[in-house]
Amino acid sequence: MSAVNAQQLLPGVGQHRIVVLLIDDQKIIGEAVRRLLRDEADIEFHFCNEPANAIAEAERLSPTLILQDLVMPDVDGLELVAAFRRHPATQRVPLIVLSSTEDPKRKAEAFALGANDYLVKLPDRIELIARIRYHSSAYVAHLERDAAFRTLTAELAEAADYVRSQLPQPLDGPIRSAWEFIPCTALGGDTFGHFDIDPEHFAVFLLDVCGHGVGTALLSLSVMNALVRQTLPAVDYRDPAAVLGALNDLYAMERHNNLYFTLWYGVWHRPSRRMTYCVAGHPPAILVTPDGNTTELRLPSVPVGVAADFPYATAETAIPDGARLYLFSDGVYEVTRPGGEAYTFSEFVGHLATPAASPGHKPRETVALMRRLQGHDDFDDDVSLLELHFE
């Protein structure tokens, strides 16, 4: 795509230099148009009387508008319009065709091939300048929007990379871990982590902030840091209900731009091999025993930040030797097949129950399966899947 050169920009907001390229085999027409535009300080005029060189000249000059004759020897004007629209450097540059007659059929053909406007030559000076300014300004504004969007996209990608850098390194020992984290096209609010509270207690969590955007990601990182660094005041991190209650007080949605989040938080007691857990409106964790049986670790509750003083409850379960525990956000299983059929949660649990083709690769294999099921690689929501394997 052609871009506006730095030389085309003028000081001041909204000002830009207009670059006009006229394609016409008649030099007298070129001189006439030059005289029509010579008093316009912000319009830079160029003339090409060799239609065969038109596209090369457009590549060299990066015009903000092309004027093109329709009747020229050796070159069909309509074919040249189509050629401009096929070429990457000129396919979006506004193009005004010049014709010697007001022919509705000819005009319709020109518009069908991609012309932006149609003038009978030679047009009135005031009208010509007005149309040049209108089309050129719209084109430059479009390029500026594209540039701003590219910058925003790059910044969102950088932010997503930063979020990823804060996620935990895989564990290798009595507890092994593996995970997949795939932000959707807009920056989202999934984070997860695990940490030792003390030598006997190991905590694990996964949270999902509502919505998308930078604010959502910032909130998720704030919560993750409060958990991993254990900075919540006067809270026993071995007590999941106390942790969720403190988070609910600290992150009331009315104080955080109406954002709330779901959370699964569990504490494993190494000597007894029992997991105490608490849930805040989050999908259940799935415990898979070595014989392939599954248990959904769920509790009725509400997301953090929604209801003040909500009485979060805890539950506990044994973690057998060799068991696998899966924490995830709903983005990983809420996929739709190409025919419109939704993938069910029970199907997802059944998939988790089956052993991985390669040990430690279950999260990666699961994401690959979801992509195959929906027929494309992109997800509508953040995808987070954390596996803990207890030896």
pLDDT in tens, 289-347: 999 999 999 999 999 999 999 999 999 999 999 999 999 999 999 999 998 999 999 99
Model confidence band, residue 7 (pLDDT cutoffs 50, 70, 90): very low
Domain ranges of the chain: 6-151, 166-390
Worst-scoring range by mean pLDDT, 10-19, 91-100, 212-221? 10-19
Fold of 166-390: Phosphatase 2c; domain 1 (3.60.40)
Fold of 6-151: Rossmann fold (3.40.50)
Residue predicted with more confidence, 33 or 11 = 33
Residue 374 has pLDDT above 80, yes or no: yes
What pLDDT score does 185 carry?
Answer: 62
Joined tokens for residue 56: 């090369």
Model confidence band, residue 89 (pLDDT cutoffs 50, 70, 90): very high
Model confidence band, residue 221 (pLDDT cutoffs 50, 70, 90): very high
Worst-scoring range by mean pLDDT, 40-54, 90-104, 117-131, 209-223? 209-223
Question: What's the mean pLDDT in 38-59?
Answer: 93
Residue 270 has pLDDT above 50, yes or no: yes
What pLDDT score does 201 carry?
Answer: 97
Model confidence band, residue 100 (pLDDT cutoffs 50, 70, 90): confident
Residue 75 has pLDDT above 90, yes or no: no
d(CA 178, CA 166): 15
- The crossing angle, in degrees rounded to 10, of helices 125-165 and 214-228 is 10
Give the three-state DSSP class for 380. coil
- pTM (2 decimals)? 0.70
Residue 189 has pLDDT above 90, yes or no: no
Give percent of the chain above pLDDT 70: 95
Residue 208 has pLDDT above 50, yes or no: yes
Residue predicted with more confidence, 64 or 6 = 64
* Chain centre distance of CA 54: 38
- Residue 374 near residue 334 (C-beta atoms within 8 A): no
Stated as kind and residue range, the H or E segment containing 316 is strand 315-318
Residue predicted with more confidence, 233 or 285 = 285
d(CA 267, CA 269): 6
DSSP 181: E
Residue 65 has pLDDT above 60, yes or no: yes
pLDDT tens digit string along 224-256? Answer: 999 999 999 999 999 999 999 999 999 999 999
